[in-house]
Amino acid sequence: MESPIDVVRRFCAAWGNNMATADLAAFFTDDAVYHNIPFAPVIGREAIGKNIGSFIRPGKTAAPGVVPVESIDFRIINIAANGPVVMTERVDVFKLPNKSFELPVMGTFEVRDGKIKAWRDYFDVNQFTSRVG
């Protein structure tokens, strides 16, 4: 079985490969929790897939009020694990229709049986909104 770090590395790499949202959701346990702080947590693999699909829309028109993110590349700067808990220091590169920008992110993942049980990302939401423009 893959180590927790290997699972998280593969998951982060999948974002840069424009993997389909269903394939990204498959990395999670059925009861997983995704908490993109400071927003409300999303619970369950299906809900996480829908949440990811709500902002990653390659080749599609985003819903009103939603920024049409074409892709996100998770660039891992540092990664460490303590048993099933993996922490990442990342720079996420967002590609929009007319520009791209970088966002520093700290992420914590909890891995169980080769799947992500919990994912918490911490970032400066004001920095994100100002860069989205």
Q: Which of 6, 23, 31, 121 is catalytic?
A: 121
Say whether 92 is catalytic.
yes
Please state, in angstroms and rounded to a whole number, the distance separating the CA atoms of residues 62 and 3.
Answer: 36
CA angle 93, 95, 101 (to 5 degrees): 50
106, 122 contact by CB (below 8 A): yes
Q: Is 121 a catalytic residue?
A: yes
Alpha-carbon gap, residue 122 to 92, rounded angstroms: 12
Catalytic option among 23, 30, 92, 113: 92
Report whether 70 contacts 58 (CB < 8 A).
yes
Phi then psi dihedrals of residue 2, to 5 deg: -65, 150
Measured between alpha carbons, how far is 68 from 1 in angstroms, rounded to an integer? Answer: 36
Give the residue numbers marked as catalytic.
92, 121
